[in-house]
Structure 1
Amino acid sequence: MNQDDLVPIPFVFEQPCPIRDVLDRIGDQWSLLVLQVLEHGTMRFSAIHRAIGDISKQMLSKTLKHLEEDGFIRRTLYPEVPPRVEYDLTDLGRSFLVPMKQLTLWADENHRAICEAREKHADRAGA
């Protein structure tokens, strides 16, 4: 075998399962809320923070960085004094809104049944 026969591996996935890899990111506590807020347009950090409410600034910063790394959002830095940073959805982020809305609709419609099932399970486990 010579050097020309070797095929380079273009990218090694950190997580071998694509479903788990994506769900690990968007399934965290805050990512869906950030994406939902950004659905309405470009926003600055403080506006996102106010819209979500109960997220710490540190956690919001971490969530925004992860969503940017994965290509869901775009961070734009304007070289002004003081610097202005804005966040908006990428095409990938916008494409995710469709299944995300279906998931949130399903969660709203089934939340009561899930809570009731949890109560029944807790009652059986406690008995």
Structure 2
Amino acid sequence: MGKARKAGGLDPAAICRSSDPMAVRELLSKIGDTWTIFVILSLDLLGGRARFSELERSVPGISQRMLSSTLKNLERDGLVIREVFAEVPPRVEYEMTALGKSLLRPTLGLVDWAKANWEQVRQAQSDYDAP
């Protein structure tokens, strides 16, 4: 525990167990955004590869613009690859990379935790909000 303390508080490197806590924070922020988890889980349910329109139908409430932005970010981060087929009209498919697939297990663990604990969280919110 002594290593985690620094003058003025906790050592950020000890909190996330990394020599680069800002990089960890940035990546967790991207992965944990509103849509990334749903897109990753949808891709998995669709067999690891899907067209834009299939993803749009499978992610409830996502706009085309947000899906496009999320997929671009996932591609940039190496979690998804985009393949364009020279057809008329053009066909584009997205596929999870090995790195993207490695994110499934922790994501499913987080989803399982949320399902198992949602009622408790909701009750805590209700208790907190009560006058």
Give TM-score scaled by structure 1 length: 0.82
CA–CA separation in structure 2 for the residues paired with 1:86 and 1:65:
12
Unaligned runs of 5+ in 1: 1-14
Q: What does residue 96 of structure 1 align with?
A: 103
The alignment's C-alpha RMSD in Å is: 1.3
Higher relative contact order (CA 8 A, sep 6+): 1
Structure 2 residue 58 is matched with structure 1 residue 63: no
Describe how 1:71-110 pairs up with structure 2 within 5 A.
71-110=78-117
Q: What does residue 37 of structure 2 align with?
A: 32
SS at match of 1:17: helix
Q: How many residues align?
A: 110
Displacement of 1:18 = 2.6
CA–CA separation in structure 2 for the residues paired with 1:86 and 1:72:
14
Which runs of 4 or more aligned residues in structure 1 lie more than 2 Å from their structure 2 counterparts after TM superposition?
Answer: none
> Larger radius of gyration, structure 1 or 2?
1
Question: 1:106 is aligned with what amino acid?
Answer: W
SS at match of 1:87: strand
Question: 2:124 is aligned with what amino acid?
Answer: A
Unaligned runs of 5+ in 2: 1-19
CA–CA separation in structure 2 for the residues paired with 1:100 and 1:55:
19
Give TM-score scaled by structure 2 length: 0.79
Describe how 1:38-53 pairs up with structure 2 within 5 A.
38-39=43-44, 40-53=47-60
CA–CA separation in structure 1 for the residues paired with 2:39 and 2:48:
12
Displacement of 1:16 = 5.5
Question: 2:101 is aligned with what amino acid?
Answer: R
SS at match of 2:39: helix
CA–CA separation in structure 1 for the residues paired with 2:126 and 2:80:
38
Q: For 1:56-77, what per-residue CA distance to the aligned partner results, in whole angstroms no more than 9, with x for missing partners?
A: 1111111111111111111111
CA–CA separation in structure 2 for the residues paired with 1:116 and 1:18:
34
